[in-house]
A and B are shown apart, each in its own frame.
Chain A
Amino acid sequence: AQTVTQSQPEMSVQEAETVTLSCTYDTSESNYYLFWYKQPPSRQMILVIRQEAYKQQNATENRFSVNFQKAAKSFSLKISDSQLGDTAMYFCAFILYNFNKFYFGSGTKLNVKP
Chain B
Amino acid sequence: ETGVTQSPTHLIKTRGQQVTLRCSSQSGHNTVSWYQQALGQGPQFIFQYYREEENGRGNFPPRFSGLQFPNYSSELNVNALELDDSALYLCASSRDRSNTEAFFGQGTRLTVV
A-to-B contact residues, CB < 8 Å = 4, 33, 37, 42-47, 50, 91, 93, 95, 97-107
Contacts and interface: CB of A to CB of B under 8 A. Distances in A.
Interface residues of B, number: 29
Given A100-B97, A102-B45, A102-B99, A45 B56 contact: no
Majority SS at the chain B contact face = strand
Majority SS at the chain A contact face = loop
Contact of A4 (B35, B42, B92): B42
Contacts of B45: 101-103
Given A100-B56, A101-B56, A102-B43, A45 B90 contact: yes
Contacts, number: 65
A47 B2 CA distance: 10
B48 A44 contact: no
Contact of B107 (A43, A103, A107): A43
